[in-house]
Structure 1
C-alpha cells in the first residue's frame, strides 16, 4: 500500500509521456490499479490514531496555517470578503500567538478587495477561475478568467479540469488546458481541481492526479465543494501517493489540497495523520498541504482554546461565516 510507484514501461521522462495523445494514454492506463479495499482499510486504520497534548497543539496550529479560508457564493460582497480577510489575519483576536491562515480564496472579481485587505501579510490571495465550478467553457474564456484574477493580484489560481473531456478519454485536451492555464498564471501558483466526486473510481483519481502534475499543477485539489461527495480521506490518500511518487520520479515537490466537507478539527487531524503516513513529514507544511474550508477554522479555534485553557468556548465566541 505504501510502496513507491513503479511507472509503466519505466517511463520517467514526462516529456516523452506527454509528447503525444497515444503516449499519454499508454502512460495513464499503464499506472497500477488502485486497490480499493486496501485504500479504504488503510484509511480506517489511520483514523484510529490518537494525537495528544503537545503534538495535538502543534497539529491544530498547523491545520490553521494550512487553511484556505474560502467564500464562493453568488451573494459574496466586498464587505464579506474584507471581514473574511480580517479573520484570516487574526483568527483569534484575543490570542496574538494564534497563527494566520495560508490563503483567502474568492471569485476573480473580488480578488482586488482581498489583496487590499491583506496588505502587509504573507497570506496568499487565491481565486477560482476557468469557468468554476463546471469548467465548461472555451479555453479563451478560461484563460481570460485566469488573467483577470492574476492581474488583480491573485497569487494562487484554483482551476477546474473539464471532467467531460477526461471521462471521455480526451486526456490530451485536458493536459493542454492545464499547461495553458499554468502559463497564464505567470508567477502565481496553480491548483488543479479534479472534482473527484465526479470521477467515480480511484483509478480515475490517480490518472487525473498524474495528468495535473504532468501539466504543471503546483497542487492537485480534490473538489470544488459544489459536488457531493467532496473531499474524502481515501481519494486524498490516492492523491498523496501521486505527489509522493511524482517527487520520487522528478525530484519536484507538489502539493495536495483537500476541499469540501471538512468541518471539524477531529477530521482535520485525521487528514494530517494521512499526510504524514502516506507522503511523509516533508508534506506537513502549508506549501504542500492545504484545507479548502470555511467553517473548519471555527472548530479548529475552539479546539485550540480548549487545549490552551481547558475550557471550551461557547459557539458565539466565533464568527458565523
Structure 2
C-alpha cells in the first residue's frame, strides 16, 4: 500500500510541500537548494577575488621597493624576495629627489594581510594567544589585548598550516592557539583527507603552544550536503580532540536551530553570531590549560 504524502516545511523559505518520505533531517525545497548552491559559489568567488586583490597589491608594493633600492646601491632592502605570503614587515628606503642634488627621505611602505602576526607583541610571547581561521572568524573580537585574531578568507586546513609554518620558522610561540577551519574543506568531498589535514595543523600548532584548541564548525543552512558534511566533521572533531589533548569548542550546539545567527548566505555568522562565536572562544581561552 502506497504511503500517504506528508506536509513538510522548508527550513529556509518556510513554504509547505508534500513529501512521501519522512526524514528526521531538516527539509529544504529544491528552489532553496538551488539558491544556496548559487550563493555558495558567489561567496567562494568573492573570497578568491578579495585574496587575489590583496596579494596583487602586495606584489606591486614589493616591486616598487625593489625598483627603488636597485637604483641606489648604498641602500639595502630587508624584504626577502619570496612569495607574498612570506613577505616581511614595514620597510623604509631612501631615494634621490628629482631636480635636486640633495637627498630626501621618502618612506615607502609595504605590507601584506599576514602582517598582524609579525607585528604581534614579542616581548612576552607566553602571554599572547592566537586565533587563526577562515572567513568565519572575520568579525571575531576578543577583549584581551594580547589575543591576536587572524582571518584568512577562503582558507582551508593546508593554508592554515602554511601560515603556521611561517610563524614557526620565525620562532614564534603563543600561550594558546585557537584554530577554526573546515567550512571550505568539506566542499572538496574528501573527508579522510580533511581529517588528516586538520591533524597536521594541530600537530604543528602543538609545537608552538602548550594549549591548542579547535573551534568546531557552525551548522550551515546551504543545502543538505554541506550541512551533513559539517555535521560529520563536528562529530569527528568532538571525539578526536579530547583523545589527543586538544581543546574543542562546540559551536554546533550554540548555533543549532538559530538561523538568525547566520547571514543570508547561510554560512557566515551575522553580527549576533560573531558575538556568540567570540564569547565561545573567549570562554575556551579562559578555561583551557
> What band does the TM-score fall into relative to the shorter chain?
0.3 to 0.5
Structure with greater Cα Rg: 2
Q: Give TM-score scaled by structure 2 length.
A: 0.36
Identify the structure with the greater helix proportion: 1
Q: Give TM-score scaled by structure 1 length.
A: 0.33
